[in-house]
Structure 1
Amino acid sequence: MFQINQLRVGSILDIPALTIEPQTITCINGESGSGKSTFLRLLNRMISPDTGTINYQGTPLEEIDPVTLRRQVVMMSQEPLLFPGSIADNLQMGLRFSEKPDASGTELAEMLRFVKLQQPLDKDPFKLSGGEKQRLALGRVLLMNPDVLLLDEPSASLDDETESFVLQRVVERVHQQQKTLLLVTHSKTLAASMGEKHLVFAHGTPRDVTGGISHE
């Protein structure tokens, strides 16, 4: 899905070579400031590297229209993005950006249940708690049904039980739909248990520790 070679971003990232296979779950850990968020932002052209190349399905990212790319490779940032309107409006916003038909009320309600957000569709999203806002943003990107999901600590504001429940459901959904997921999580336990590939970032360089074994 992604092929990365000799990539550098200032003193933040230094990745000699890395491949992200299609239809896989890649979980990412690392200390704060180790380059995890920067790495995700590179993959949908929110930023560009200083040097090196990133190919998406064999095509250099710089040759792909950014809007087209971001409809296929969707990122959810640490800080959930909310829009004026209701919870329903916020769930629909990703579909509208992707120029897809709106979801039905039933589909919206089902997505709220999926992300364990028990709130009415007509509620003001700015009155939600931090964890509820995260789950609303997660529901929005899941409704978009992109080829690649980039989730940057989507459950950081959740308790451990809710985090495990929600992320497990996301992983199952990605498998069922044969999509690709890159998930940054603070939990090493979740990363090791859910990821088919487990990367640990340190000083801007990822180390593959899949299966508890380091692949330098």
Structure 2
Amino acid sequence: MAHTQPIISLKRVGFQINSKSILSDITLDIYEGDSIALVGPSGSGKSTLLKLIGSLLSPTEGRIQFKGADLSQQNPIDYRQEVSYFFQNAVLFDETVRDNLDFPAEIRQETFDEKRAIEGLEKVRLNATYLTKEIHELSGGEKQRIALVRNLMYMPRVLLLDEVTSSLDQINRDIILNYVRQLNEAQGTTLLWITHNNDDLQYFNRVLKVENGLMEEIK
């Protein structure tokens, strides 16, 4: 596949906390439409790498570029609307599912698109009746699926997923994985997915292994 300019580029990126090196010398080009699995032992630096790419942390060495421009020079709010980070245990807030799905429109000062919300719920095998459900009524799997719909009310170009199915049962895992794969295949959404499940790897066109703060591409 002929590549043009990468959408995100890491150039000799490192990250230290209190002089302890978490990541070092990470060089990586991510292209539009890539689906990338990040693997490696717990504590190896995978989540830190994802948070650096998501602009939730800043590198202590090297630089990250988005569409050819240094990330440090870009508005983080604008960037996070294009590069969306989805947490391992997503938090829902306020009282109802509607409150959560309305939030992305609220911060953009736009009107809530109920039709889009219902379509999103249906993609993760929920339905319109969920809009009025209170957060405390939901199971863990339902909360995680609704949080994903909230992240995707405005479709990002890049979706960063930090072990988002690790605490879910097989049915919920499959619903989320299949939806995310569909976004990549049908809409070209770029994916980076941290997983400990080797069965997931067949679905990604690249696999990056992070170990002892270093990264290598193994597929």
**Structure 1 ranges of 4+ moved more than 6 A:** none
Quick one: which of 121, 141, 162 aligns to 1:112? 121
Deviation of the 1:161 alpha carbon = 3.7
Among residues 154, 159, 180, which one is paired with 1:149 in the alignment? 159
User: Residues 205 and 127 (structure 1 numbering): CA distance in 2 closer, same or farther, change over 3 Å?
Assistant: farther
Q: Does 1:200 align with 2:200?
A: no
Identity of aligned residues (%): 33
For the pair 1:127 / 2:109, whether they are aligned, the reply is: no
Tell me the secondary structure at the aligned position of residue 174 of structure 1.
helix
Structure 2 stretches lacking a partner, 5+ long: 1-6
Give CA deviations for 1:128-183 in whole Å, capped at 9, x if unaligned. Answer: 22222111111111222011111111212222243123212211122211221111
* Aligned counterparts of 1:157 and 1:131: Cα–Cα separation in 2: 8
Paired residues in the alignment total 208
TM-score (norm 1): 0.88
Is 1:27 aligned to residue 27 of structure 2? Answer: no
- Contact kept, 8 Å, 1:98 with 1:144, in 2: the verdict is no
Q: Which residue type is aligned with residue 202 of structure 2? A: S
User: Which whole-Å CA distance do the structure 1 matches of 2:172 and 2:91 have between them?
Assistant: 21
CA distance, structure 1, for counterparts of residue 105 and residue 42 of structure 2: 32
Aligned position for 2:101:
91
Shift of 1:99: 4.5
SS at match of 1:162: helix
Give the distance between the partners of 2:46 and 2:8, measured in 1 at CA: 16
C-alpha contact (below 8 Å) 1:82/1:126 kept by paired residues:
no
- Show the counterpart of 2:15: 9
CA distance in 2, matches of 1:205, 1:126: 41
C-alpha distance in 2 between matches for 1:99 and 1:30:
40
Cα distance change of structure 1 residues 123 and 144 upon mapping to structure 2, 3 Å threshold = same
- Aligned match of 1:214: none
In 2, Cα distance between equivalents of 1:98 and 1:202: 39
Answer yes or no: is the 8 Å Cα contact 2:97–2:131 preserved in 1.
yes
Residue 155 of structure 2 aligns to which amino acid in structure 1?
Answer: N
Change (3 A) 1:163 1:87: same
Q: C-alpha distance in 1, partners of 2:163/2:102?
A: 22
Please state how far the C-alpha of 1:97 moved relative to its aligned partner: 2.8
Whole-angstrom CA distance in 1 between matches of 2:187 and 2:111: 19
**1:172 aligned residue:** 182
Unaligned runs of 5+ in 1: 211-216
The residue identity in structure 2 corresponding to 1:3 is S
SS at match of 2:153: helix
Q: 2:88–2:162: 8 Å Cα contact kept in structure 1?
A: yes
Q: Distance in 2 between matches of 1:204 and 1:98?
A: 37
1: CA distance between counterparts of 2:63 and 2:217?
20
User: Is residue 77 of structure 2 the alignment partner of residue 71 of structure 1?
Assistant: no
